[in-house]
Amino acid sequence: MSHPPFTAIIDSLPETVPFVGPETIERRTGIATRARIGANESGFGPSPRVIAALREAAPEVWTYPDPENYELRSALAAHLGIANDEVTISEGIDGLMGLLVRLFIAPGDVVVTSLGAYPTFNYHVTGFGGDLRFVPYSGVHENPEALAAKARETNARMVYLANPDNPMGSFWSAADIARFIDAVPENCLIVLDEAYMETAPEIPLALDTSRPNLLRLRTFSKAYGMAGLRCGYAIGHRRLVGAFNRIRNHFGVNKQAQVAALTALDDQTYLRWAVDAIADARLRIARIATENGLRALPSATNFVAIDCGRDGPYALAILEALAHEGVFVRKPAAPGLDQHIRISAGPPGILDILAEAMPIAVKNAQSAP
């Protein structure tokens, strides 16, 4: 007896995990993670007020969350200076990506992104039968001009750009982003992933929710230190934002996430402290790299990309040697980027472990066959 048939798209998809978690690596290797600095989380954690709010709200988890996320949307709208119906909330940016691809992409529709950019976006595009077209990075930057050109040339329905960039940590100015937006055709949705905006060196492009082909994605997972709570939001024209209400899982954002995000937003003092702490950690990571003969790239994010100076296999050998020391980091896999490893900011005690492990890792990688 065979199972009922899947749809044609589902038949074409593999079972996958876009990111293998450090928990899985621990289970496989038996080596305990001593420094968790690979997933661009914030080891500085959330605001103490967030922790207090989570604890206070714990007995209230018996009720469903407000399906309209009303309080949080109102607070975000006030904070951003936009209207309530210009922001929608979901289970992290990953959840938003699944929904926005579903809104716009039918099988065969072209979607443009950079080769080596966020894989979960690609996962969702493929998951709805989209036709991904890749533009190579220009050095360590996504190439906005080439992305817009490719979107025009392919009559793309959607184009993705992260600013600041993951995995390279690079950054485009507001003027550069404005030029990119103007160069994309009106019938192509621009997905501007601003997950790392809080740690950028300058304020990003002003919010313009009148533009009907621009969605900006932000999150409480990075500088706010709440990756485990899954709370991301999309900002844009009310017709775009409203469309999520046609398909979203209305009760998908968990009540603890709502409470925590509301509190986090209200504690901008902590956010500024965390952003400073992240900046200090970036400097320390860069120093550790230099001390070990590696080259740290400038970073606008909560992680530092480090050029290991040779090829992909060599960078991988360093990553694996770090893993052997209990230091969890990740690395880009795309050609042209794969000589880098990517290390997330963390508190001093955790970076001490990195400092201790790095010379061992480099030595081991150099002596590898």
Binding residues among 236-255 for its own copies as defined by CB under 8 A: 237, 239-240, 242-243, 245-247, 249-255
Of residues 68 and 311, the one with the C-beta less far from its own copies? 68
**Residues pairing with 342 in the sheet:** 305, 330
Tell which one of 75, 161, 197, 260 touches its own copies (CB under 8 A): 260
Angle at 336 between CA 339 and CA 353, to 5 degrees: 25
The stretch among 104-112, 138-146, 167-175, 288-296 that binds its own copies (CB under 8 A) is: 104-112
309 or 326, CB closer to its own copies?
326
What is the footprint of its own copies within residues 108-137 (CB under 8 A)? Answer: 120, 127
- Nearest approach, Cβ of 190 to its own copies (angstroms)? 9
Q: What is the maximum alpha-carbon separation in the chain?
A: 62
- Which residue of 29, 61, 155, 269 would you call a contact of its own copies, by CB under 8 A? 61
Would you say 140 and 185 are in contact if contact means Cβ atoms under 8 Å apart? Answer: no
> Closer CB to its own copies, residue 101 or residue 289?
101
CB nearer to its own copies: give 185 or 309.
185
Helix (H, G, I), strand (E, B) or coil at 290: helix
The correct pick among 62, 108, 202, 369 for binding its own copies (CB under 8 A) is 62
Tokens representing 321? 């040697």
Q: Please state at what angle helix 70-80 crosses helix 255-266, rounded to 10 degrees.
A: 30
Neighbours of 21 (CB within 10 A): 12
* Shortest Cβ 208–its own copies spacing (Å): 12
| Pattern 151-180, its own copies, x by CB under 8 A | ------xx----------------------
Give the Cα separation of 316 and 324 in Å (integer): 12
Tokens for 102, please give them.
């579903």
187 binds its own copies (CB under 8 A): yes
> Could you say which of 229, 234, 308, 319 contacts its own copies (CB under 8 A)?
229
Give the C-alpha separation, 127 to 119, whole Å.
Answer: 12
Binding piece for its own copies, criterion CB under 8 A, among 59-67, 110-118, 134-142, 199-207: 59-67
- Shortest CB 230 distance to its own copies, Å: 5
Q: Which of residues 16-55 bind its own copies (CB under 8 A)?
A: 16-21, 23-24, 27, 36, 39, 41-46, 50-51, 54-55
- Using CB under 8 A as the binding rule, whether residue 256 contacts its own copies is answered as yes
User: In angstroms, rounded to a whole number, what is the distance separating the alpha carbons of residues 214 and 304?
Assistant: 28
- Residue 114 is given by DSSP the state E
On whether the CB atoms of residues 301 and 164 are closer than 8 A, the answer is: yes
CA–CA separation, 236 and 179 (whole Å): 18
* 164 preceded by a cis bond (ω within 30 of 0): yes
Nearer to its own copies, 230 or 340 (CB): 230
